[in-house]
Each structure stands twice: as C-alpha cells, then as structure tokens.
Amino acid sequence: MGAVSLETLPPYSLPEVAFVGRSNVGKSSLINALLGRSGVARASNTPGRTQEINFFDLDGRMTLVDLPGYGYAQAPKDKVERWTRLIKGYLRGRPVLRRVLLLIDSRHGIKENDKLMMDLLDKSAVVYQVVLTKTDKINATELSEVTAKTRDQIAKRVAAFPDLVATSSEKGFGLDELRLYVAQLAG
C-alpha cells in the first residue's frame, strides 16, 4: 500500500525496515533484488518516481518501506517539499521502525544531502545502516576507498549502525548479507 500523507499511513503492527536515499540511488532496484522479484517496487530512470511511502508486507513477518528519494527529483518544488515533510513525520512517529537503510551510491559516496538525512536520523534517534549501492559500477580499489571513507564518516554519527553493506542489485553482490541483517530485524 502507499501513503501520501501522515493521515494515510497504515496502522502499525509488524516490524518495519525503511529504505531511504537520494533520488536515483537504486532503492526500488535494491528492494526488488532483495525480494528476488522484479516489479514489486517500481524502478525508473527518472529521479523522483517514488512519490509516496510504499509499504510491502513480507508474509506477515515484517514490512519493508520504500521512502521517496531526496535531492534531485524531476517534480515540482511543492511536491518535493511535501515528500520531505512526509518522510520526516514518518521517521519521527513510527514506533515499529526497527532500522532505516540509508542507501549511498558507491560511485559518489556521501553527499551533502545524505549528511542532512543523517542529521535528521541522528536527531530523531532512528538507527540507520549505510548500504552502498551500484558497486558493480566501480573497481575494487574505488570500492575499498569509498567503504573506508564512509566508515570513517558514520563512526562520528550517534544513530549510525557501525556495519555497512556493499551491494549491487544488478550483479547480486552483498544481497545475502543484507537479507541476513533484515531478517534479524524481523525477530
């Protein structure tokens, strides 16, 4: 189900794991790859395609939550501001939220708008875990460098979970490790 406002959020009962990241970071592709099914989350080449909070019930055990992307989006400014308020309201008021998976494009590392999201998560006392995406697009040396730099940056954050996961939705890299983290949050 999708929610376009705080009033339309579904009642909570199951543990939730939310996915958040810049527009075009690969959230929908990662969700589809994790579930082993294409088309569950709508993937697009157009930034800002996810315009609501989408909830995916995993067999009554937990819920995956796809949040709208932040940063560059091909949408009117007022819509982007509404999504931002919706994300903030969701993050601050969801007691069943076990963790936020903060997706970072491995080709670019942590950008300024990612830092703003980390500030919000830190202030909201919401535990988040960094997931590097699109690792198949860089070489091993670059991946090692971005991983080390990202670890250094999250070590200074109060709500950041210390482990990060490097993934590729396209090649399947890191998906088993991420599935294990998510499964542990369900129980």
- Residue extents of the structural domains in the chain: 2-186
Condensed to tens digits (0 to 9), the pLDDT of residues 136-149 reads 999 999 999 999 99
Q: What is the 3-state secondary structure (H, E, C) of 32-65?
A: HHHHCCCCCCCCCCCCCCCCCEEEEEECCCEEEE
2-186: which CATH topology? Rossmann fold (3.40.50)
Q: With 0.85 as the threshold, say if the pTM is over it.
A: yes
Condensed to tens digits (0 to 9), the pLDDT of residues 14-46 reads 999 999 999 889 998 999 999 987 766 665 444
Give the whole-angstrom CA distance, residue 143 versus residue 184: 26
Distances (CA, A) of 31 to 19, 54, 154, 156, 158: 8, 11, 23, 28, 26
The arithmetic mean of pLDDT across residues 76-96, rounded, is 79
Give the whole-angstrom CA distance, residue 114 versus residue 104: 8
